Amino acid sequence: MPDNKALSGGLVKKNNFLLIVGAGGAHVGRMLLNLALIIAASTAWFDMDRLPTLIASVIAIGIVAYAVLRHKHGRKFRMREIAGLSALDNAVGRATEMARPVLYTPGWGGDIQRPTTIASMNVLSHVAARTAQYNCDLVYPTHDPVIMAVAQEVVREAYADAGYVERFKSDNITYVTSSQFGYAAAVDGMISRVKPASIFLLGTFEAESLILAETGNSIGAIQIAGTDSTIQLSFFIVACDYTLIGEELFAASGYLSQDESILASVQAQDIMKVVIAVFLVVATIAATLTATGLVDLGEWWMF
């Protein structure tokens, strides 16, 4: 026989619990509603002009998260060969055989906050590991003292990981000047005097790009370049042996390390490209139909 007293006690407890949960839920709901009303009333909390950017950012984050999670569920993929990145080891090997140093510079245009500089650091880590293994000098002049400090740390760790920390020379990673053409003159002078066998011009470059690339070309160095400036890319394509065009510099980290999570984020770039391409086609059709007067689809695509 069930104990009626205990049963009724349990029901009361359960009802009390539901009442408490219900009241608590209603309270939290009211709080959230009030918060939403406050935020809605105060437009300053959110800049509506930046809504399209927020939507695009959320989509981008979602796609990267999707690609990384999909990789964790076992989906493998490979990256196409990038000639400039495949040539990195050969370039360091060439310098070793010629008993000359490797010169690596990130350009004058960027600071450490720029994604291009971070991408350049990833390649630097790989190049430094190779110079450590091959016992080849690595010279790294820069215009920014923060980049210098980070580069020293990246190179030191790469040498330590390779097991040759005693080969690391912190004096080779130097700040030269913050002046654009002072920097160009200093690096040009190094190239002319030291005559590196291999030169890496990877980062954000401005007008100094061709000055450096042509000087490197004049001494017969093998040159691998990459930047996010479309104007300077044309100079590099003409003057350098290999050029990383656009996104290739950002994909370098995944390509060189074969780290699956990084490769997954590179794949996310391709998914985003497809999304943008679809958007462009739809927007073009909508704009064309609107312009011809057949149907009025508005200007929703114009943000």
Burial class (CB in 10 A: 0-12, 13-18, 19+), 112: middle
- Distance between CA atoms of 142 and 47, rounded to whole angstroms? 38
Mask for 102-121, x = binds another protein (CB under 8 A):
-----------x-xx-xx-x
- Tell the smallest beta-carbon distance from residue 285 to another protein (Å): 17
Range 163-182, binding another protein (CB under 8 A): 170-171, 174-176, 179-182
Nearest to another protein of 8, 53 (CB atom) = 53
Paired residues of 139 in beta bridges: 103
To 5 degrees, how large is the angle CA 216–CA 153–CA 145?
65
Nearest to another protein of 92, 150 (CB atom) = 150
Mask for 197-216, x = binds another protein (CB under 8 A):
----------x--xx-xx--
- Distance between CA atoms of 160 and 158, rounded to whole angstroms? 5
Range 217-236, binding another protein (CB under 8 A): 217, 228, 230, 233, 235
47 binds another protein (CB under 8 A): yes
91 binds another protein (CB under 8 A): no
Q: Which residues contact 290 (CB under 8 A, 6 or more apart)?
A: 296, 297, 298, 299
Nearest to another protein of 20, 223 (CB atom) = 223
Q: DSSP assignment of 223-251, as one string?
A: EEEEES-HHHHHHHHHHSSEEEETTHHHH
Mask for 49-88, x = binds another protein (CB under 8 A):
-x--xx--x--xx--x---x--------------------
Cβ neighbours around 242 below 10 Å, total: 21
- Distance between CA atoms of 70 and 205, rounded to whole angstroms? 36
246 binds another protein (CB under 8 A): yes
Which one of 7, 11, 26, 237 is in contact with another protein (CB under 8 A)?
Answer: 237
Count of residues of this chain found to bind another protein when the rule CB under 8 A is applied: 79
187 binds another protein (CB under 8 A): no
Nearest to another protein of 26, 39 (CB atom) = 39
With beta carbons less than 8 A apart as the criterion, state whether 67 and 271 touch.
yes
- The DSSP secondary-structure symbol of 222 reads E
Paired residues of 175 in beta bridges: 142
Nearest to another protein of 26, 231 (CB atom) = 231
79: left (phi over 0), alpha (psi -120 to 50) or beta: beta
133 binds another protein (CB under 8 A): no
Nearest to another protein of 20, 277 (CB atom) = 277
241 binds another protein (CB under 8 A): no
192 binds another protein (CB under 8 A): no
Nearest to another protein of 1, 44 (CB atom) = 44
